A and B are shown apart, each in its own frame.
Chain A
Amino acid sequence: MAADSLMDGIPAAPVRGRSLWSDAWRRLLKNRMAVAGMVVVSAMTVVSLLAGLFSPFSPTMQERWIGARPPMYRHPTVKNEMRLKAGDPADLPEEALDPSAREAVLLVEAIERDEILRVTLKGGVIRALRIETGAESVESFGASGPTEYLNLLDDQDRPEGPRIPDATLAVGGKPPFDAPAGAEGKAVSVGVRWVKLAGTKPSEVNVSLSGGKVAGLTRDGSGIEALTVQGREVVSFMLDGREIAHTHILGTDQSGRDVLSRIIYGGQISLGVGLAATVVSLLIGVLYGAFSGYFGGRTDNVMMRIVDILYSIPFMFLVIILLVNFGRNIWILFIALGAVQWLTMARIVRGQVLSLKEKEFMEAARMSGAGHMAMVMRHLIPNTLGVVAVYTTLTIPAVILQESFLAFIGLTVQSGTGESKESWGALVNQGVQALGSGGERWWLLVFPSIAMAATLFFMNFLGDGLRDALDPQQKGKTA
């Protein structure tokens, strides 16, 4: 009876064991910072992976006439150019193509001048102003309205130039913009485009719609046959009394691209590179380190000296040379960054293996007839995975940072189709360049930086949490 009662509490069905992993998982869940890290990092990953669902606009959609606008900027939803003609399908943005829509009202501000102004600077003041199109010299030029745009024209059209506030340019006065580098003492061409003259009254364009087609067209009350409206001229757009407009939550860049969308798509590149390079380094590093440590002796010596030699190569150089010589292919970047990261991984794994292989369970495995493969794959590597997991979560942010550095110095990667993939590093780089002397366009730098910094920050939290969870004795000690 006594012997039987010992077995009483034991259920007949196999008891699920609690592995060291599930133990570590429970400890991890108790660590608030690590959970926060996990939540943020997974949220970032999901948003980046499903960028198409989460990003409000296409990251490449340009609304150039808007230029760089601060966060929460709202403007009418229009197309670049809308050719409206009675009887034709309505050439309006998708939102307006609702077949049940009856009437569209566009408030159009005529652009009277779309000209290039040549500003000659000398001694920091304007010496001459010349409107290039008519080769006509003027004493002053009033630049005002919502879309003034100023453009440095050194040798080519550069819409990325600084925008000027409402101002009047006058001969003898100071220019309302920062004189471009090298402008002192020389004549510099500066263009002003798309100037909406102050005081002009916008005209009202009425489009009656029927089944998605233009039924009738009037301008300021009088009927017309056809009209081409430039997107940049539209001040407001009403469809059946409803305003058709959209908001750029984090503002736009100089080409009028939505910053939020660009950050979301940039995350795809940054996180993707971080993850892929880390996986490459994991595969190489873990296997290399495990076999090196396992075989030991001369093999280990040779394998580790190879690692030392590779370590001594300035790897950023290597990556840059690879990228320059083999093209800015994203795969080259994965391989180049991964090929560098595996060195540390190999060392860490080797160190673990050296101590693990002296454990009795390794001898037990040999007695059980395990071959070299089984010893390494079944007995050594699973026991190193704790350390490997921790190092991995710390490698991903390191790689992201390195990729950002490369992007920051201009080595952005390109997709297979040659389209430039702009990672957070590239966005930050553009943000710095577009910032302006007083930080006027701060949102172009701040938001990508926050996205990157937050990701790195929370990934490091997660890594620290994992380390504590997998090795509770280490807790509180610095690595």
Chain B
Amino acid sequence: MLLEVKDLKMHFPVPGGIIFRRHVPPVKAVDGVDFFLRRRETLGLVGESGCGKSTLARAVLQLYKPTAGSVRLDGTELTALPPREMRKARQRMQMIFQDPYASLNPRMTVGAIISEPLRNFGVMRGKELRARVSELMEVVGLSPSFVNRYPHEFSGGQRQRIGVARALALNPDLIFADEPISALDVSIQAQVVNLLIDLREKFGLSYVFIAHDLSMVRHISDRVAVMYLGRIVETAGFNEIYREPAHPYTRALLSAIPIPDPNIEASRKRIVLPGDVPRPDQEFTGCRFRTRCSQAIPDCAATEPVLADLGKDHFVACLKPSA
């Protein structure tokens, strides 16, 4: 098991009051998440905007200090590591960011950006470093002759490749890709996904691939985890979840995938969820999805569902999972 996350919570305190402190409930962006990732496996993390996907990634990577819970990388508990050790552990985990425009320092050349992790960790220098940067650029499909260019001279897809090259620099085991393709043109999205797949085969990487709809994770994920309001509600192999979605929210998400055939598309049945996502600073009892669930029963308000094993790597947090 490469990565094990148990009951991870990330609550953000909200400062209240101008002069006197008054109690304001914290925003519970991630509220008790369990998942695991095997070596060389890709987990697609799916959920609508604001459900806590990016926060989960940052809490796992210890960019945020999690409120509670445990994150184990190869058996090492990351939440308890002193800063110095944590910095070392970071070499094994990297991240690809959502916005290829904001994630590259506009004042640095491509070469400086890609070589930064190597220099920071003192892995290599001089000629060796330059050779490594060229190699990385080739690997991600950029001409090494662009090494002295600046990010603003590249297109979105090329910039995302720079981000990928930076993430690869330290030869990590695990890469968190935080919606790496949602800011890109549809025509470019496939290129980047294919690049990530190629790199996975080549370097034996493991990914947590975050996206906000299931169609995006289709090609790359071995397993999919569906998040709703700070919790994972269902996780299973991609084919399994596609054929037999057990959670009503997953079914709604699946029904939103457009089909590239106008005839089928016209007759496609879509599940439209009523209402809005509840505020993440609300206190909950029972199931979080019950306010929008068509199959809610009175018990849903009383009992909080936990992830239950349905077999075949399929887990679902629902009192009334459909088989």
Contacts and interface: CB of A to CB of B under 8 A. Distances in A.
A15 B150 CA distance: 10
A142 B95 CA distance: 96
B63 A366 contact: yes
A374 B152 contact: no
Nearest to A369: B120
Interface string B112-123: 000011001100
A415 B89 CA distance: 58
Interface stretch (A16-24, A177-185, A275-283, A346-354): A16-24
Nearest to A23: B152
Nearest to B141: A6
Given A363-B63, A368-B117, A379 B149 contact: no
Nearest to A16: B148
A367 B63 contact: yes
B153 A20 contact: no
Interface stretch (B41-49, B72-80, B101-109, B213-221): B101-109
B163 interface: yes
A7 B148 contact: no
Nearest to B143: A10
Nearest to B149: A17
A368 B120 contact: yes
Contacts of B291: none
A384 to B, nearest CB: 10
Interface in A350-375: 359-361, 363-371, 374
Given A7-B143, A369-B117, A382-B107, A364 B166 contact: yes
B95 A20 contact: no
B150 A360 contact: no
B110 A383 contact: no
B58 A370 contact: no
B240 interface: no
A368 B169 CA distance: 9
A374 B103 contact: no
B150 A368 contact: no
Contacts of B102: 359-361
Given A364-B163, A367-B95, A383 B150 contact: no
Given A7-B143, A360-B102, A370 B120 contact: yes
Interface in B49-103: 58, 61, 63, 87, 90-91, 93-95, 97-99, 102-103
A371 B117 CA distance: 11
Contact of A20 (B90, B93, B106, B146): B106
B147 A368 contact: no
Contact of B150 (A20, A361, A365): A20
A11 interface: yes
A13 interface: yes
Given A18-B150, A368-B117, A369-B121, A361 B104 contact: yes
B145 interface: yes
A476 interface: no
A180 B147 CA distance: 77
Contacts of A359: 102-103
Contacts of A18: 149-150, 153
A10 B121 contact: no
Given A14-B147, A363-B63, A369-B87, A383 B116 contact: no
B145 A10 contact: yes
A13 B144 CA distance: 9
Contacts of B143: 7, 10
A135 interface: no
Contact of B110 (A17, A361, A363): A17
**4 tightest Cβ-Cβ pairs between the two chains A and B:** A17-B149, A360-B103, A368-B117, A369-B120
Contacts of B94: 367
Nearest to A374: B120
25 contacts: A7-B143, A12-B145, A13-B145, A14-B144, A14-B146, A17-B153, A18-B150, A18-B153, A20-B152, A359-B103, A360-B102, A363-B95, A364-B97, A364-B104, A365-B105, A366-B63, A367-B90, A367-B93, A368-B117, A369-B87, A369-B90, A369-B91, A370-B116, A378-B105, A382-B108
A383 B153 contact: no
Interface string A29-61: 000000000000000000000000000000000
Contact of A19 (B121, B150, B169): B150
Nearest to B87: A369
B99 A360 contact: yes
B207 to A, nearest CB: 15
A371 B87 CA distance: 9
B156 to A, nearest CB: 14
Contacts of B146: 14-15, 17
Contacts of A371: 120
A17 B116 contact: no
A352 to B, nearest CB: 13
Interface string A318-360: 0000000000000000000000000000000000000000011
Contacts of A10: 143, 145
Contacts of B167: 367
A50 B61 CA distance: 58
A379 B116 CA distance: 11
A383 B110 CA distance: 16
B174 to A, nearest CB: 12
Contacts of B116: 365, 368, 370
A389 to B, nearest CB: 13
Contacts of A7: 143
Given A17-B109, A20-B107, A382-B107, A360 B97 contact: yes
